[in-house]
Amino acid sequence: MIEKIPFGKTGHNSSRTIFGSVSLGGISQSEADRVLDLLWEFGINHIDTAPKYGEAELRLGPWLKKYRDRFFLATKTNERTYQDAKDQFQRSLDRLQVDRVDLLQFHNLTDVVEREIIMGPGGALEFLIEAKEKGLTRYIGISGHGIDTPRFHRQTLERFAFDTVLLPCNYLLMQDPNYSNEFDQLISYCRERQIAVQTIKSIARGYWGQKTWNRSTWYEPLTNEEAITRCVHWVLSIPGIFLNTVGDVQELPKVLKAAASFEQRPSEEEMAKVVKEMNMQTLFT
């Protein structure tokens, strides 16, 4: 079973590996049901979804209708104004077949202009605050992609006290000294304030480039089980953070198995070997 720890100041002990439902976006309901059965096997009690994840909300709906009380449920909005965010969130509730979520996050908030729109009059933040006050969500957060995300999140948190953050983290990315330094600063800031930190892209191998795109992810994921295990263990060795699972159903069981077996951080030699043998390249520069 995968370890459970406090998810920030929410009072919920979440599995350190959070199920990223983007993996359900392009598959049938019967396939999705088989994937969701893995959550029981590994003790996953936290689900992350979003309107932009294809048909993921629809695939989760029938399942959540039966098991809603057993999961911490997080979704997102990529809209930037009050009314658009409100309309999108209501659609998400309908598709998920629930009347509330536990966490509502801004999807990929890493643009200065978009942040000003969100935080300005009639911006989407007004709706997220309202949703929290009305009990439609218990917590609100921010997510982001790209090399500037740790610094941008830190700036955003200084303007508003969000409950959670989500950003990329993997061994190769953290070899960038600027990213690593800004990531560590963000982590320290969040720990002091009990802000939950979720991470993505733990097993990203690199861009597809000239290779045939034969997976559901926009990036090429690792497929070698030993390499996946070491990369998952490396991320989980960072105290207190959470790892959101891969967006590829074929590699999901390997990630969950790796998370369940986590004990200690792989050595630098082991990680360097993975990078070399798998010909890994960073996604963000």
The CA distances from residue 136 to 47, 78, 131, 133, in Å, are 17, 17, 5, 8
Cα–Cα distance for residue pair 17/93, rounded to 1 Å:
24
In this structure, is residue 71 part of a structural domain?
A: yes
Looking at the domain assignment, is residue 187 inside a domain?
yes
Distance CA 209, CA 276 (A): 18
223 lies in a domain? Answer: no
Any idea how long the chain is?
Answer: 285
161 burial via Cβ count (<10 Å: 0-12, 13-18, 19+):
exposed
**pTM given for the model:** 0.95
Give me the domain span that covers residue 80: 4-203
Amino acid at position 213, single letter: W
Does residue 268 lie in a domain region?
no
Instruction: Check residue 11 and give its pLDDT.
Output: 97
Alpha carbon distances (Å) from 221 to 5, 116, 178, 191: 27, 34, 24, 30
Residue 271 domain-assigned (yes or no): no
Does any domain span residue 138?
Answer: yes
**Would you say residue 270 lies in a domain?**
no
How many domains in the chain? 1
Q: What is the CATH number of the domain that holds 158?
A: 3.20.20.100
Burial 236-249 (b: 16+ CB within 10 A, else e): bebeebbbbbbbbb
Q: What are the residue ranges in the chain where pLDDT is below 70?
A: 210-216
**142 neighbors 153 (Cβ within 8 angstroms):** yes
So what's the pLDDT on residue 127?
Answer: 98
Does the residue 119 lie in any domain? yes
